[in-house]
C-alpha cells in the first residue's frame, strides 16, 4: 500500500474539497467573530465597572477551563433542548465562535496591557473618549504586538476543526476518514490530510512572520 494513494485522492476530490472548504470556512468565521468578541471581552475585563469586569472574567474562566469537545456536546445537545434547532455545521460555527472568544480575549487583553499607560493618559488629556483611545491608539499598536500569538491561535483553531466530526459535521478530517474507510485505505488518507494540515498551518505561520517583519513596531 502506497504512503499516499493519489489515485484515491483524485477519484474522491469532490468530497475531500468539500470537507476542506468547510474547515476553512469554520476557521475564518470563528476567527473573525472570536476576535471581535474577544476584543469586547478584553475591554470589559479591563473596565473599571466591576460587575462588567466580573461577568467578562467569569465567561473567560469558564470556557478556558473546559475542553472544546465538551463544549461541542453542550451546544449539540442543549440547543435542541431549549427549542433552538440548527444544522450541525451551524452548531459548530456557534460553538467555535463562543469558545474562541475567551482565548482571543486573553491575547488581546495582554496586547492592550503591553501598551504604555502614558499613551492612554495622553489621549485622555487630549479629550479622547475611552472608545477613541482604544480604536485609534491602543489597539492598532497592540495588534502588532499580539500578531504572532493571534496567528498561533488561528492555526490551533484550524487544527481543532477536526473535532467537529464527532457531532457529524462533514469537515476535512471526516471527509478523508470516510473515503479511507470506504476504500480500505485509511492510513494513506491519514497521511494525506496530515500533509495538507501541515502545508496550510505552515503557510499561515510564514505569512504572519513576513507581515510581522514588515509592520513591526520599532522600539
pLDDT digits (tens, 9 = 90+) for 14-65: 999 999 999 999 999 999 999 999 989 998 998 888 999 999 999 999 999 9
Q: Is the dihedral of CA 202, 204, 205, 209 positive or negative?
A: positive
Q: What percent of the chain has pLDDT over 90?
A: 48
Report how far residue 57's alpha carbon sits from residue 41's, in angstroms, rounded to the nearest whole number: 8
Cα–Cα–Cα angle for 188, 191, 193, rounded to 5 degrees: 110
Spans of all domains in the chain: 6-215
CATH for 6-215 (1.10.1740.10, 1.10.3720.10, 3.90.950.10, 1.20.120.10) = 1.10.3720.10
Instruction: Report yes or no on whether pTM surpasses 0.75.
Output: yes
pLDDT digits (tens, 9 = 90+) for 124-153: 787 887 777 877 888 777 887 788 888 889
Dig out the grid coordinates for 184 from the structure: 480500505
Amino acid at each position: 500500500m502506497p504512503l499516499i494513494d493519489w489515485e484515491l485522492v483524485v477519484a474522491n476530490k469532490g468530497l475531500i474539497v468539500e470537507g476542506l472548504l468547510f474547515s476553512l470556512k469554520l476557521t475564518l468565521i470563528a476567527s473573525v467573530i472570536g476576535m471581535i468578541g474577544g476584543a469586547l471581552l478584553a475591554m470589559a475585563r479591563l473596565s473599571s465597572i466591576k460587575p462588567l469586569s466580573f461577568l467578562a472574567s467569569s465567561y473567560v474562566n469558564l470556557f478556558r477551563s473546559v475542553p472544546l469537545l465538551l463544549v461541542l456536546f453542550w451546544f449539540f445537545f442543549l440547543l435542541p433542548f431549549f427549542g433552538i434547532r440548527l444544522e450541525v455545521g451551524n452548531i459548530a460555527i456557534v460553538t467555535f465562535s463562543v469558545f474562541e472568544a475567551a482565548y482571543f480575549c486573553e491575547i488581546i487583553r495582554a496586547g492592550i496591557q503591553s501598551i504604555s499607560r502614558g499613551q492612554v493618559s495622553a489621549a485622555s488629556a487630549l479629550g479622547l473618549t475611552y472608545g477613541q483611545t482604544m480604536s485609534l491608539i491602543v489597539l492598532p499598536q497592540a495588534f502588532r504586538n499580539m500578531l504572532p500569538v493571534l496567528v498561533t491561535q488561528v492555526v490551533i483553531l484550524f487544527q481543532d476543526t477536526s473535532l467537529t466530526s464527532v457531532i457529524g459535521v462533514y469537515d476535512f478530517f471526516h471527509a478523508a476518514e470516510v473515503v479511507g474507510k470506504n476504500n480500505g485505505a485509511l492510513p494513506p488518507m491519514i497521511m494525506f490530510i496530515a500533509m495538507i494540515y501541515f502545508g496550510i498551518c505552515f503557510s499561515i505561520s510564514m505569512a504572519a512572520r513576513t507581515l510581522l517583519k514588515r509592520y513591526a513596531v520599532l522600539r
